[in-house]
Structure 1
């Protein structure tokens, strides 16, 4: 499938069917930690990159194929809300199924009334907020010209006032960058102003484009939870498991996931092993065949091998 991938699993969203609305990489930010790599050219104008009817048809087909889904998640190879017409897609998906809809976004376009309006029908919206100060915000996300921290914050506050669904803010915690007590207290101040339903701490576990990106220590993670919990509920998500058991074509399913983010090799090994219970040698054989296609290569990050697409 061109637009739909997964399901993938996480503590936050359980078994989630992903819908990618963008050509890679279309983004308003150039985050130091981005698993998609550097933003070579900023995109700030919203447009309908792909025909909405084609995307909806793929979602319809995937819903017939996959059972037991917990969420349908709109996400982009960049900034999701650059896709003009996502509101129509959310409304049409809700006509097809009772499965709740989530949207993962960096939140940089929430200052636009039309963007906020398109998101009102979503059951959960997960925007990013990684800093409580302009200087640190700019250091981490490196936004396109004209997109300011104040604008970002005001967009989040305005959306909170209008939105009745679940607002779950994602905070990427970076070792030595935004995990100091000072940075965390600044972040707590702006989170209190936004008043989200929950904060999800996320960690840079996948390969990043910049060498200064490191995992925070366990002590800093616990400190972040303690400080941010003073103003809102904080969840430190545990990684879920990829599920390939219903994939009609395993190679294409893995390609669809790896093309959107690096995949830890041991996570992939488990997902393949689950497809062949009792066949101990099958997993290694399948993985060898996958690598032999030339689509993938292995890279190391934090001592762990990851599968990424061949460039």
Structure 2
């Protein structure tokens, strides 16, 4: 499929059927931690990048495939809400299935009334708030001109005023940047005015293009949980296991995932072991087949964790 991938294991959404509605990389920000790499040219105008009917047809096909799906998740190779007919897709998807619909977004376009209204039917919206000050916002998220910190925060507040479903705000915690007491208290002060239902504390575990991005220490994560929990429940979501049991074409499935984000080799090996429990050698041969396809290469982080990325990835 061209637009739909998975379902893949998600830290926040279980077995998530991803719907990617943007060409890479179309974004209003150039976040230092982004798993998609640097934003070479900002995209700030909404448009119908791909035919909405084609996207919906793939969603229909996927939900009727029998694969275990916990959520249908609209994501983008960039900023999801740049897709002009996102509201139509959410509405039509909910006519097809009872599976809940989520939208992952950086929240930069929530200042647009049309965007806010288009998201109202979603069962969960997951925007980002990585800083409680303009200085840190500019250093971490590196927005396009005109996308100010004040605009971002006001968009979050305005959306909360009209949105009655689950608003789960994501905070990416980065060592030495937003993990101090002061920085976390600033974020908490903003969150108090946004009133999220939950705060998802996430860490930059996937490869980044920036060498300055590092995982925070355990004590910093504990500190973040304590400070942010004064506003809402804080979760550091546990990741469900990757499931390949309903996959007809493993190479295409793995390719679709790595095009959207780096895939942890440990997670892939576990999924193959579950798929082929009686023959561990066959799982190893499948790894060799996948690498031998020429579509993937590996990237080893400083902590020794190995990730798979597409051969077009510029990080290796």
Distance 1:198 1:135 in 2: 25
Query: In the TM superposition, what whole-angstrom CA distance separates every residue of 1:16-63 from its partner, at most 9, and x where no partner exists?
Result: 110000000000000000000000000000000000000000000001
What corresponds to 2:98 in structure 1?
98
Unaligned 5+ segments in structure 1 are: none
What corresponds to 1:120 in structure 2?
120
Distance 1:23 1:272 in 2: 29
What corresponds to 2:35 in structure 1?
35
Task: Assess if the C-alpha contact under 8 Å between 2:7 and 2:67 holds in 1.
Answer: no
What corresponds to 1:136 in structure 2?
136
- TM-score normalised by length of structure 1: 0.99
Distance 1:27 1:10 in 2: 22
Task: Assess if the C-alpha contact under 8 Å between 2:7 and 2:68 holds in 1.
Answer: no
Query: In the TM superposition, what whole-angstrom CA distance separates every residue of 1:94-152 from its partner, at most 9, and x where no partner exists?
Result: 11111100000000000000000100000000000001000001000000011000000
Q: Which moved more, 1:296-305 or 1:208-217?
A: 296-305
- Number of positions where the alignment pairs a residue of Structure 1 with one of Structure 2: 311
What corresponds to 2:201 in structure 1?
201
- TM-score normalised by length of structure 2: 0.97
2:312 counterpart of 1:307: no
Aligned pairs for 1:96-245 (under 5 A) are 96-245=96-245
What corresponds to 1:60 in structure 2?
60
Query: In the TM superposition, what whole-angstrom CA distance separates every residue of 1:231-281 from its partner, at most 9, and x where no partner exists?
Result: 111001122221111011111001000110001111111111111111110
Q: Which moved more, 1:265-274 or 1:23-32?
A: 265-274
How far does residue 11 in structure 1 lie from its aligned partner after superposition?
A: 4.1
2:270 counterpart of 1:270: yes
Distance 1:296 1:68 in 2: 26
Structure 1 residue runs of 4+, over 4 Å off?
A: none
Distance 1:208 1:48 in 2: 29
Unaligned 5+ segments in structure 2 are: none
Query: In the TM superposition, what whole-angstrom CA distance separates every residue of 1:60-93 from its partner, at most 9, and x where no partner exists?
Result: 0001113431110000000000000010000001
2:282 counterpart of 1:282: yes
What SS does structure 2 have at the residue aligned with 1:103? strand
Distance 2:287 2:246 in 1: 18
